[in-house]
Structure 1
Amino acid sequence: MRAGPLSDSEVIETLNEKFVNTWVLLRELPELISGAKGEIPSLVAKKMRQHYTDSVDILALTPDAEVIMHQPESALPYRNPSQAYLTVLKHSVAAFEGRRTRVGKRSKLDRNPISLGTALMEVLHVYGTFCTDTPDDTVVRIDTTPFESGGILHIEIQVGVGKSAGTFELFHADTELPLKEDTDAALDGAWNVSPGSMGHIFHNFSRGQCFKLVATGADAQTANAFLARVSVVPHS
């Protein structure tokens, strides 16, 4: 992280202006959870343990210690990790500010990120070539046109317990697939989500439009299921 995203000036500026930053070693969590450093550190440490999946985990929490974003560092795309990390940070801020205007600064938020969003759809699907016939079999079409003034699109993705990790990328509906080599047209994504884990995609859009979510497996010969829950927090 230090040689990548944390060396980017815009990332550093965003972290300093919008977040209270800290880091914790996994071996320190039991002491913090016990309350040795106080009630708030104990609550934050519990959230960290609940969401721990990788050697370097990135979490964004509200002042009430509710998780808005969880992104394993190893799942950032290798092509431009700094930009991906910056996107995750900005959408975390937008998600929190969008909810805060609706429930008040002191209100307790639900455990589900962007829980006050309007549910659009819930899709159970499969990625992996041996069980699909065409690339479109791993495409989920998302219609946000009812939200004329835009909003924050949230896609919560639960990956099944099969052997293959999944990468999920959001595109404009008219993006032609498959992409040409070295083309990066994805708007946002959740990359390399491991089996049995959950990923989140946040995308801020200014007007209602259609998108498509494309799911691919780390192992093209191995199938796995995923459940995608799609919701929108509309702009005021």
Structure 2
Amino acid sequence: MNEHFINTWVSNVALGRTPRKRAYLAQRIQQGFKGVDTTHPLAQAIISGWNILSPVDCLVISSELELMGSQDFNRLYGDSMEKGLSATQGYHLFLSEALEGKRPGLGRIVLTPVCSSAEVMDTFQTPMVPHQDYTVLEIDTTAFEDGGTLTLDIGVGRGKAAGTFYLFDGDKDLPTENAPEGVPASVWKRQQGDAYVEALGALAIEWFYPTETGKITYPFDRGKLFRLCVTGSVYSVKGSLNAFSVKISVF
């Protein structure tokens, strides 16, 4: 495109985005097609940027393979129209904001002593394969130099899926479908037990049924980055959806 970007397309089939695509990919591999290593950092950056029910995702990924921006194409087009921009202008704005570090579409919440709370509404989906579908909110509390208590007031919608909410350190890699070294695949798949919780490395984990509300609190000594990762509970029907709201505060 220019000196700032290399523009390319990545097939959803190659990464096995949906059950049908994974089934088709398995057939292709049996016929000699070389599959993509989904544990590769570039593949992980792409997968982490997927938007639920999006036919095409627009992603910006840095040369260090860090996801800098992600937008559902349909939402990007709609947002452009609402702003009075053409599709081209809206796409250019998306790229510019990604380069400026604004992380468009990635749900980064910046809290400060002046503005110490924010509310977010979003959706989550129960993955077809464990640890393969997250809605991720990045929470920036670095302005709180003397620390505080991160408080998440959570409500789950009326959909069919129960929600699992993981709070991670900001630099923690998201779990993938592949079990960490030394953890039995059966333990990782069941998502239960002390061995699983230890391997997961989350700061906090909570489960909420549809229409249920609850809270996560986490004290910290110095401002830092957090990641709140939301996905459908292992007990929910695969592919089922729900909405959630969360009020994020620091006290």
| TM-score, normalisation: structure 1 | 0.44
| TM-score, normalisation: structure 2 | 0.42
